[in-house]
Structures are given as structure tokens and as C-alpha cells.
Amino acid sequence: MLYYLFTYLDKQFDFPGAGMFGYISFRSGMALIFSLLIALLFGKSIITFLKKKQVGESIRDLGLDGQMSKQGTPTMGGIIILLSLLVPVLLFGDICNIYILLMSITAVWLGLIGFLDDYIKVFKKDKKGLHGRFKILGQITLGVIVGMTFYFSDDIVVREHVPVTASVTAQTADNLPSVRNYITVDMKSTTTTIPFVKENEFDYEWLVNWMGGNAKSFVWIAFVLVIIFIVTAVSNGANITDGLDGLAAGTSAIVGITLGALAYLSGNIIYADYLNIMYIPHTGELVIFISAFIGATLGFLWYNTYPAQVFMGDTGSLAIGGIIAVYAILIRKELLIPILCGVFLAENISVMMQVSWFKYTKKKYGQGRRIFLMSPLHHHYQKKGCPEPRIVTRFWIVGILLAVMAIVTLKMR
């Protein structure tokens, strides 16, 4: 809203300083500062309100050191993250931008699903919360919305070099720069970036090439299915990771900083050309969104570090996982997720391995066996006697190393 106000004041009245709102760097900085301040200033009041309403975490005794001391700690703290994120985006972002709209829908949609889950656990006294199939249905629905919008919206394009021999109309080619035998055009595309590969673009159409001439007609189905899988996997990964004080929030902030750098490079034609990466027009606004996300997670971390004054609950964990997934998809870096979100991936895989091996050995030997002392992975280290703050800090360090690796992939090909 402030973006439109100051743009109007700049154009109509040459208002001093209003031109600053035309710069993404300025608006991104302001979004980060405002989100951080909102979390810090209003976080305490929200925690007090949650305590007053007795919105406390019900802890099941798993035999972990210090676990039962967390009994009654306020949950649903994801409200702090969502509030701190969405307000600065509304103030400093171009809310008509298709990318901002999709990211805002993602945050609100998964935040509401997580809120329902927390509400059922706390107020209905049902420890299982929202039934798993409804969570999955919500994630699938979001994946369909994002995938269909991504594929069919004319506002989501990439800039590519097209051979002049291709069937490009003179109107399309008008006023566009020519590079040797190529012209530059903005076009719909289902391509994405592959890390570690020189010709580093992959077209999802390849998945349906076996259909021959009908491939182009059905590529959207394969594309939407991939989007659904990514959104579901990452949001559940963040949800599983939220098991120690500061672990999910700190890891998400690290991922957010990396995604912000990747979005800035992909949305800047000079840097994209220098690094020989895909240039995606109009994604500069995403830097504003991710700046607010970074500020919100860091602000929440102020109250969530050990010993936590509040837990984010599913309200926060499902939302931040979905935000990371959709953001990576929009800047066409979703194939970097296994590296960038390696902590989430490890947590997810540890649970899958533990459950699968337990079921297999129980069926074969009559008694289930375990790979880890306890899953997810962070509980395994707790069982080994490692202090909670040490586990969290080491996971953060691993997250930073993975983030650096993700950035390095831009040139490592």
C-alpha cells in the first residue's frame, strides 16, 4: 500500500524521498526491518495472550532430557511469523504482482491449515489434531493452485534467446535486442534449473515425451504433480523439523537468505546474463517477500531460542515449509531443494527409514527394530545425551554449509 502511495506522490507531486520506493533494495530493507520490529514488539503481547487463553503445548513423555519442562509452553506462535511477514509485504510490496499474490496465498492457506490443527489439539484436547488426510488435501489443493497459475498465467514468463529462424512474428521481435542469430523474447516455459550441469535447464515436457505429439497438451499435468509433491514434501519436512527450540525457525531463516540471493540474481538481467542463469522478469518483488520472511523468522527466533518462550506449532511450521517450496518453484530453483533444505530432507528421511525398517523387521522377525535411537534425527542425538542447544547450533551450521553449496552451484557447472 505504501508502495502505491509513494509512487503516486513521486509521479504527481515529486514528493521528496518518494522515489526511494521505486527501488527494490530499499523496499526489501524496509520489509526486513519492519517484519523484525513487528515480531519483537508484538511477539511478547501475543505470547502473553496465548498464555492467558491457556494455549499450551501438551508434551508426551518420550524419555528425553528436559522434555517435560516444556509442558504448557504457549504454542500457535506461528501467528507471530505470519503477522510479521504479511504486514510488511502489504506495505512495501506490489500486491498486484502475480508472484506476491501466490506467495501470500501460500502463507495464508497453509497457516490456516496449521492453525486448525493446533486449535483441535489445544481446544478440542485431541492430540492427533487435524486428520492427516485433510492436511494432505490442503497441501494438494495449494499445489494445484500454484501449478495451474504458474502454467497458465501470462504474467509468469522467462526471457529466452530464440533463433531468428523460429516462427516468431515481426510484432514479437519488435524492439527486442538481437544477439547474433537470436532474438530475446519473454515466453511461457516449463523449464527449470538443474544444479551441477553445464547445459543447466530441464524442461518438464521431457516427462511426457513418450506421448509423442500429445506431449505439449498434457505437460501441465506432469508439472502440477511435481509441484504438489514438492509443496507436500517441504512443508511436512519443516513440520517434522520443528521439534527443538529454534531449530525450524533458524534453519528456515538460513534457507530464506539463500533464496533471497537466488531470486535477486535471477530477477536482475545483468547478473543473470553474467552468471548465465535463467532471467525471470518481474520476480524482483519476491526479494521483498523473502526479506519480510527472514525478518519474521529471526524475530520469532528471539522468543523461540532455548529455552523457548513459545512454539510455532503447525501454524508456523506448515506455512514456512510451504513458503520455501513455492518460492523455490517460482524462481525455478526447486531442484536445488534437496541441497538447500538438506536439514528438512534428513529429518524426513530419518522418519521414513525408521518407520519402514520397524515395520519390515516386525513382519520378518516378529519384533520391530530401529535404525535410530529415536526419530526424527534430532531426537536421536538427544537420546545420545547431546544437549539441545548444541544439536540446534550444529544443525544450523550444516544448514549454512548447504546454503553456501546451493549458491556455489550457480558457477559449479
Mean pLDDT by 10 residues, the chain (413 residues): 76 78 88 96 94 74 68 89 96 93 97 94 84 93 95 87 56 50 76 80 84 79 94 95 93 96 89 83 92 97 93 94 96 93 95 94 90 92 92 96 92 70
Q: Output the 3-class SS for 342-361.
A: HHHHHHHHHHHHHHHHHHHH
What's the pLDDT score for residue 208? 84
Q: Give 244-271 as a DSSP string.
A: STTHHHHHHHHHHHHHHHHHHHHT-HHH
Q: Is this structure's pTM higher than 0.85?
A: yes
What's the pLDDT score for residue 67? 66
What's the pLDDT score for residue 314? 93
Are 235 and 322 a contacting pair, CB within 8 Å? Answer: yes
The domain ranges of the chain are 2-408
What's the pLDDT score for residue 315? 95
Alpha helices, DSSP H, located in 153-268: 170-173, 215-241, 247-266
Give which of 257, 237, 244, 388 is closest to 304, Cα–Cα. 244
What's the pLDDT score for residue 16? 79
Are 238 and 318 a contacting pair, CB within 8 Å? Answer: yes
C-alpha cell of 31? 520489509
Query: Measured between alpha carbons, how far is residue 262 from residues 29, 108, 219, 284, 403 in Å?
Result: 16, 24, 26, 11, 11
Map residue 409 onto helix, strand or coil.
coil
